[in-house]
Structures are given as structure tokens and as C-alpha cells.
């Protein structure tokens, strides 16, 4: 009996470690996908300046869409299960958890003000890049900001992180930290840019807290959708004023 219990526990630990390793692999594959494409372009000495505008746009979309499709396939069972539950309870989810997003927005606003006083910059490099892309490729910005990002980022920075870090508050902290770094590292210019990890990190941690409370990934997906859509709409409107 004793040895049977040991075998069961040993099998359980192996399955648990295997699941964590797989989650880490999924996360790293997603995170470094664009860097891998750029590496291939350099290795094969591909001159993108010779590409047609259509080819460039297709490539840009592919960088975002292909990883999302892979994530949707990997987590399809979880997505189907959660959607059935979310469809029945979405009103109660928003009544319970929308307030946490509002709190997160408030904390982000305060941190952004404090950071702007320190850095003397009105917005971070990541925000400036997003605004430049909106001006040049508005349709692309709408699709990636309002559809791709909420789906892909919630699956990566909430679902996958939760699978890697099993302790509640550790996963909340790590989700915020990694989410913040992911939004800063690509446009990192100097040490002051790391301060913008704070507002992004706050939002990431709030989303993970909501995910833990609701136990449904669609709650954070739709709140993330609302968040991104609202900010993008405000910026687009400000361009026309």
C-alpha cells in the first residue's frame, strides 16, 4: 500500500513537472517568435525593402496572428469549457470583477503621473510606438490591439503564467512583472524606461487577480478588450480634434 502511494505521488509529480515544462516552452516560443523570424531574415539575408507593400503587410500580420492561432489550438479545450460557463454568467462576472479593472486604471494613472514627473516625458517609448503605428496602419492597429492582444496576452500572461507558478500571489506578482517587462523591453532605450514596467505591471497583476477570482479566462479577455478598445478610441478621437 505504501509503495503504491509513493508510485501515485511520483507519477503526480512527474505530470506536474511535465505540465510546467510544457507551459514554459509555450511561453518562450510565443515570446521569442518575432525575434526568431528576424533571425531567419538576417541569416538568409532577406532584403525586406524589396518587398511589395502587400507582402510587408502580410508579414506584419503574420507575426501577430500565427502565434495566436497556435495558442488557440493549444488551449482549445480550456477555451471551449470556459466559454460555455462565461456565456451563462458573464453579467455576474462583470458585476463582480469590473471594479478591479477600474481600480487598476486608477493606480496606472497615478503611477504614470509620477513617472512623467521623474522622466519629464509625457508617455513611454512603447506608447509612442503604438501611436506611430496607429497613424501609419490604423486597421492593423485596431485588429491587433482590440482582438489579437486581448486573446494572446491573456492566454500567455495569465493562463500560461498561472500554469507555471502554482502559488496564487506568486503568479499574480510574476504575471504583472513579466507583462510589464514585455511591454517595455521591445522599446527599451535607457534605464528610465524600466519605470514604465510599474503601470503595465499593475494592469497585469490586476488581470491575474481577476482571473484567479473568476476562474474563467474570458473574464480577463473581455476586460482587456474593453481596456484596449477604450484607450485606442480615445487616441484616435484625439487625432481628429
Q: What are the tens digits of pLDDT across the range 94-126?
A: 999 999 999 999 999 999 999 988 888 766 777
136 Cα distance to chain centroid: 23
Give residues with Cβ within 8 angstroms of 122, minimum separation 6: 116
CB 224 within 8 A of CB 149: yes
Cell matching residue 184: 517595455
Is residue 1 scored above 50 in pLDDT? no
Q: How many Å apart are CA 58 and CA 40, to the nearest integer? A: 17
**Residue % of the chain over a pLDDT of 70:** 92
Cell matching residue 69: 492561432
- In the chain, where the domains are located: 2-240
Q: What is the pLDDT of residues 174-201, one digit of tens each?
A: 999 999 999 888 777 788 889 999 999 9
Measured N-to-C along each axis, helices 217-240 and 125-136 cross at an angle, to the nearest 10 degrees, of: 70
Q: How many Å apart are CA 15 and CA 18, to the nearest integer? A: 5
10 vs 180 pLDDT, higher one: 180
**Grid-cell match 514627473, residue found:** 117
Is residue 12 scored above 50 in pLDDT? no
Listed residue (128, 135, 125, 108) closest to 236, CA to CA: 135
Q: What is the pLDDT of residues 222-238, one digit of tens each?
A: 999 999 999 999 988 88
Amino acid at each position: 500500500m505504501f509503495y503504491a502511494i509513493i508510485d501515485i505521488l511520483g507519477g503526480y509529480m512527474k505530470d506536474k513537472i511535465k505540465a510546467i515544462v510544457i507551459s514554459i516552452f509555450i511561453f518562450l516560443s510565443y515570446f521569442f517568435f518575432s525575434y526568431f523570424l528576424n533571425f531567419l531574415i538576417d541569416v538568409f539575408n532577406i532584403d525586406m525593402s524589396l518587398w511589395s507593400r502587400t507582402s510587408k503587410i502580410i508579414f506584419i500580420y503574420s507575426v501577430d496572428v500565427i502565434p495566436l492561432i497556435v495558442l488557440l489550438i493549444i488551449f482549445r479545450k480550456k477555451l471551449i469549457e470556459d466559454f460555455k460557463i462565461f456565456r451563462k454568467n458573464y453579467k455576474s462576472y462583470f458585476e463582480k470583477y469590473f471594479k478591479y479593472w477600474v481600480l487598476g486604471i486608477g493606480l496606472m494613472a497615478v503611477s504614470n503621473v509620477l513617472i512623467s514627473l521623474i522622466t519629464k516625458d509625457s508617455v513611454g517609448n512603447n506608447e509612442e510606438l503604438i501611436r506611430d503605428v496607429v497613424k501609419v496602419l490604423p486597421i492593423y492597429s485596431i485588429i491587433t490591439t482590440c482582438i489579437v492582444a486581448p486573446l494572446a496576452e491573456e492566454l500567455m500572461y495569465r493562463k500560461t503564467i498561472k500554469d507555471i507558478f502554482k502559488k496564487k500571489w506568486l503568479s499574480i506578482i510574476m504575471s504583472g512583472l513579466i507583462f510589464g517587462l514585455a511591454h517595455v523591453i521591445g522599446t527599451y532605450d535607457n534605464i528610465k524606461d524600466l519605470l514604465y514596467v510599474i503601470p503595465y505591471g499593475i494592469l497585469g497583476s490586476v488581470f491575474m487577480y481577476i482571473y484567479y477570482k473568476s476562474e474563467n479566462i474570458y473574464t480577463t479577455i473581455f476586460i482587456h478588450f474593453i481596456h484596449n478598445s477604450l484607450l485606442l478610441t480615445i487616441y484616435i478621437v484625439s487625432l481628429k480634434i
